[in-house]
Structure 1
Amino acid sequence: MTATGREAWPAAAEWTGKIYSGGWRQSGGGTQPVHEPATGARLAEVGVASPGDVARSGALAARAQQGWAAMAPAERAEVLLRAAGVLRDNSGAIREWTVRESGGVPAKGDYEIAAGLSQLAQAAGMASLPLGEILSSPVPGRASHAWRVPLGVVGVINPWNAPLLFAMRALAPALVLGNAVLLKPDPHTPVSGGVVVAQLFEEAGLPEGLLHVLPGGPGTGEAVVADPHVAMVAFTGSVQAGRAVARAAGDRLKRVALELGGKNSIVVLDDADVDAAAAAGALSTFGYQGQACVAAGRHLVHDGLVESYTEALIGHARALRVGDPREDGVALGPVISERQAARIERIVDESVAAGARVLVGGRREGLFYPPTVLDHVERTMPAFSEEIFGPVAPVIAFHTDTEAIEIANDTEYGLAAAVHSRSLPRATALAGQVRTGMVHINDVTAKDAANAPFGGMGESGNGSRIGGTANLEQFTQWRWATMPETA
């Protein structure tokens, strides 16, 4: 895997064809190959966790969790900080796995590493937060206390588009708060989203049995959700899959945190800085081939600026080179799979057939889809309503701020938005009326911070938030106790 010829990290001999459950072991579900989307090359082979593997892991995790929860919070935090050190020391190898497995450019790999480090640091800091309250007691002479306790075992079902970041976002706070974790990485990225994570924590000295990495497809995920030892599931993925997870978890009265899709708008008002707005719009839609839940899926532009904005956006699109992400100067790599490439192609083609116009791009070569700008987009078209998850920018003109709000809210999703204006009061007022869980002024739609609650409304999630102090609510539950003030 490395250009220098030195032994790759993590050492493939340890984990090839295996799962991580009480150390590396043979899986009961066989193995699966891992392919590079840019070239089709076979990169690795990982184990596939069977339902029996999941059941064994759940039981091991439940036993190990009790001792872990009894440790001092500072000791748990120290493990996370050591994991951060391992991540730094092996950042080059991890970047290479991220690039080759997910198709992102090296800068995307660097972003995930930096964000992963932030998640570990933020989670470690939670160890010093107060976890309880002294309550007023209605009974004289009796004390009343409430404090947070771990849930027990948390299931994390991870996506392919930011595998390291999303793994750390859930498992780091879950672990530091005293839980054990079953992590199911996506089949497209089982190394950067699974093997790497297992190796980080193994080298950091996480006690055995607290983290289980269980690659596999939907059957493995279903087993994780159904396992009786799993008290809560953190899922990131499509709306369709999220609904299935929610149904299965609800039937078992389990807590579930869903981070799903988005049809996010970048709104450009008539007093905006056009060049700055177009630069933010290009990054929001074309970054990582548009394969992010927080990517801009609509560019809503005041009709007085739409011509100049579109011209600037086309300029950005034409300047972005598409190709193998390991080559110098490449800005966009391949989309993750043939299925995803065909989906993007269908949405664009059906919209064009309905009257939309392709201004740049619009034709793929294999898995490589170029930055694409559409105009004449109407609300009846797939490019307006569907989450594209590709580098396609539909431009839609509006006449008034009220109309911009109405168009932005014309979606079942509600994840993120951005508003551009030279008037902060005006932009803030408009942002307050957009129905999203996150909104950014004079910036991109695609933002993330370890200390901020991350999540959406509507079909973008179930109202849960992960990030910052919101993690306390997600990964713990309250316990209340009363006792005499004197023996």
Structure 2
Amino acid sequence: MPVYGLYVDGRWVASTQGKRAPDHNPADNTLIAYVHQATAPDVEAALESAQRASRAWADTRVGTKEALFFCLRDVIMTRRTEIQQILIKESGSAFKKALWEIDYVIDLIQTMVGEIRRIAGETMPTTIEGRVSMSFRQPLGVVLGICPFNSPFLLTMKKVVPAVAAGNAIIIKPSEETPLSGLLIADLFEEAGLPPGVLNVINAAVADIAPALTEDPRIKAITFTGSTRTGRLLAEGAARGLKRITLEMGGKGPLVVLRDADLDGAVRAATFGAFLHQGQVCMAGSRVIVDSSLYDEFCKRFVERTRQVKVGSPDREDTVVGPLIRISQCAFIAGQIEDAVSQGAVVRCGGGYNGSYFEPTVLTDVTPAMRIYHEESFGPVVSVLRAEDTGDALRLANDTSYGLSAAVMTENLSDAWYFAQNIEAGMVHINDSTISDEPHVPFGGVKNSGFGREGGRYSIEEMTELKWVTFQTAKPSFPF
């Protein structure tokens, strides 16, 4: 059985205490590897390495950084099939979804290469005689990235690539469910020629190492993608250390279907938004809010399309819904459905599971009294809600503690603009799915979905410090 170590200071090392954890294939729960788990001495080694490397990397010329990223892109393209197979085997990513992750990362790298030469400040007018006033951006130093399991290659690279492009060193803590994906990233960067210490990867449970990392003064910023519960704990730690933090957390995304919507288009958008990667997507459209005039017909067509969604092994090219990351999640979702049905909800299709495979499920007649109305399922389950009119649809869309991504289906420009302005979400998509992302856009949410933005120059802003500098060319005059 393969055994994988930690990646610290450009070397593959065993944990100092020899602690290891199993890594399983979610499709059949078979053991695929053992992975060393970091303890306090390993965390300290990673911190020392990153701190030391950050100084030299911050001073590295932009041309050298660009060359590194172009090489990284070529390495990824060469190892594309290998990366895809790891994503399928470890995270349960369906065949096409895994390829999409890889293509996104290639686009991300090319985007950040373009940003490297645009990390700039500005000159500013001044009211003081003989003064030149300007600003510029500097790397923070050492960044901590805590990463999720659902798109482990894409979402980890969304942290690593901007941090390194901005001149920082970064320590990555992959999800306990997908440790190999994080180590794979270290291997790719190593092949591309990244200097030792600029990237360190340490696997462990968040609770075991997060306090030591979040409160250490050498960590200047934290970037996290994951659950709202864990994000709150990290934010508390960051607050004690007065560190900046970017949080991208859960969602209960609304797809609003207004009275003049293209019904077939709405059904397609709802299907994609609900069932991509088994619904294990923070942007998932897990609530579909439909105008009462279209409600019955929408439900009929949506159920018909949902029944056609292919469930199967993630290594099959035609699979849409594969396994959930852990079997226990199936029981959690089943409990949500049981609670909803006991209070009057109707299961229109699905509702069952076999092992870690949960059937694509559509619920109707869902009310605020039910757990599933409020709780994130993180599975292939969608609730269809009836709206009496446009105002009621907006009320329902905002009736959640989350605020990541939302979508509105309408042919009416005024309604589209009204929802774009008034939905409480960080991202709103008109006539599209709730699931949408590009490497250069300001990705992020509000309310319990987090704060801060990732993507392009927005990531650069999060991972650099803006400094104001003045030069006095004439002798200044002081009042005393």
TM-score relative to the length of structure 1: 0.94
**What letter corresponds to residue 189 of structure 2 in structure 1?**
F
**Alignment counterpart, residue 256 of structure 1, candidates 245, 251, 261:** 245
**What letter corresponds to residue 409 of structure 1 in structure 2?**
N
Give the Cα separation in 1 of the matches to 2:168 and 2:474. Answer: 33
8 Å CA contact 1:284, 1:445 repeated in 2: yes
Give the Cα separation in 2 of the matches to 1:465 and 1:130. Answer: 17
8 Å CA contact 2:251, 2:449 repeated in 1: yes
**What letter corresponds to residue 387 of structure 1 in structure 2?**
E
1:480 aligns with 2:468: yes
**CA shift at 1:323, angstroms?**
2.2
Give the Cα separation in 2 of the matches to 1:405 and 1:357. Answer: 23
Give the Cα separation in 2 of the matches to 1:77 and 1:245. Answer: 32
For residues 416-463 of structure 1, the C-alpha deviation after alignment (integer angstroms, 9 at most, x for no partner) is 1110012233222223211100010111001111010110010000x3
For residues 263-292 of structure 1, the C-alpha deviation after alignment (integer angstroms, 9 at most, x for no partner) is 110000111111110011011001111001
**Alignment counterpart, residue 360 of structure 1, candidates 342, 346, 349:** 349
1:42 aligns with 2:28: no
- Greater alpha carbon shift after TM alignment, 317-326 vs 390-399: 317-326
Q: How many residues align?
A: 472
Give the Cα separation in 1 of the matches to 2:193 and 2:281. Answer: 33
1:382 aligns with 2:371: yes
For residues 66-93 of structure 1, the C-alpha deviation after alignment (integer angstroms, 9 at most, x for no partner) is 1111111232122122111111110101
- Greater alpha carbon shift after TM alignment, 421-430 vs 436-445: 421-430
**What letter corresponds to residue 245 of structure 2 in structure 1?**
V
Inter-CA distance 50–283: structure 2 relative to 1 (3 Å threshold)? same
CA RMSD in angstroms comes to: 1.5
**Alignment counterpart, residue 166 of structure 1, candidates 155, 166, 170:** 155
SS in 1 for 2:422: coil
Between the aligned residues of both structures, percent identity stands at 36
**CA shift at 1:59, angstroms?**
1.1
Q: 2:80 aligns to what?
A: 91
- Greater alpha carbon shift after TM alignment, 81-90 vs 242-251: 81-90
Matches within 5 A, 1:227-238: 227-238=216-227
**Alignment counterpart, residue 225 of structure 1, candidates 211, 214, 219:** 214
Q: 2:16 aligns to what?
A: 28
Matches within 5 A, 1:65-80: 65-80=54-69
Q: 2:478 aligns to what?
A: none
SS in 1 for 2:288: strand
**Alignment counterpart, residue 409 of structure 2, candidates 420, 433, 437:** 420
8 Å CA contact 1:55, 1:227 repeated in 2: no
Give the Cα separation in 2 of the matches to 1:74 and 1:475. Answer: 20
Q: 1:203 aligns to what?
A: 191
Q: 1:8 aligns to what?
A: none
For residues 33-90 of structure 1, the C-alpha deviation after alignment (integer angstroms, 9 at most, x for no partner) is 1100101111122211112211111111111111111111232122122111111110
SS in 1 for 2:354: coil
Give the Cα separation in 2 of the matches to 1:280 and 1:249. Answer: 38
Q: 2:6 aligns to what?
A: 19
**CA shift at 1:486, angstroms?**
7.6
TM-score relative to the length of structure 2: 0.96
For residues 362-395 of structure 1, the C-alpha deviation after alignment (integer angstroms, 9 at most, x for no partner) is 0111211000011111111112111111111111
Q: 1:349 aligns to what?
A: 338
**CA shift at 1:298, angstroms?**
0.5
8 Å CA contact 1:33, 1:42 repeated in 2: yes
Q: 1:293 aligns to what?
A: 282
Q: 2:327 aligns to what?
A: 338
SS in 2 for 1:359: strand
For residues 201-256 of structure 1, the C-alpha deviation after alignment (integer angstroms, 9 at most, x for no partner) is 00010011110011111213333223331110001111110000000011011111
**Alignment counterpart, residue 442 of structure 1, candidates 387, 408, 431:** 431
Q: 2:89 aligns to what?
A: 100
SS in 2 for 1:321: coil
Inter-CA distance 107–328: structure 2 relative to 1 (3 Å threshold)? closer
**What letter corresponds to residue 48 of structure 1 in structure 2?**
Q
Give the Cα separation in 2 of the matches to 1:207 and 1:328. Answer: 38
**CA shift at 1:467, angstroms?**
0.9
- Greater alpha carbon shift after TM alignment, 289-298 vs 51-60: 51-60
Give the Cα separation in 1 of the matches to 2:316 and 2:136. Answer: 53
8 Å CA contact 1:259, 1:460 repeated in 2: yes
1:305 aligns with 2:294: yes
8 Å CA contact 2:119, 2:460 repeated in 1: no
- Greater alpha carbon shift after TM alignment, 45-54 vs 147-156: 45-54
Matches within 5 A, 1:245-284: 245-284=234-273
8 Å CA contact 1:17, 1:32 repeated in 2: no
Q: 2:390 aligns to what?
A: 401
Give the Cα separation in 2 of the matches to 1:373 and 1:130. Answer: 47
**Alignment counterpart, residue 112 of structure 2, candidates 109, 123, 134:** 123
- Greater alpha carbon shift after TM alignment, 330-339 vs 201-210: 330-339
8 Å CA contact 1:74, 1:127 repeated in 2: no
8 Å CA contact 1:82, 1:204 repeated in 2: yes
Q: 1:178 aligns to what?
A: 167
Where in structure 2 are there 5+ consecutive unaligned residues? 476-480
**CA shift at 1:100, angstroms?**
1.0
SS in 2 for 1:414: coil
**Alignment counterpart, residue 187 of structure 1, candidates 165, 176, 183:** 176
- Greater alpha carbon shift after TM alignment, 422-431 vs 397-406: 422-431
Q: 2:313 aligns to what?
A: 324
Q: 2:456 aligns to what?
A: 468
**CA shift at 1:171, angstroms?**
1.2
**CA shift at 1:130, angstroms?**
4.5
SS in 2 for 1:296: coil
SS in 2 for 1:347: helix
Give the Cα separation in 1 of the matches to 2:275 and 2:166. Answer: 37
- Greater alpha carbon shift after TM alignment, 222-231 vs 97-106: 222-231
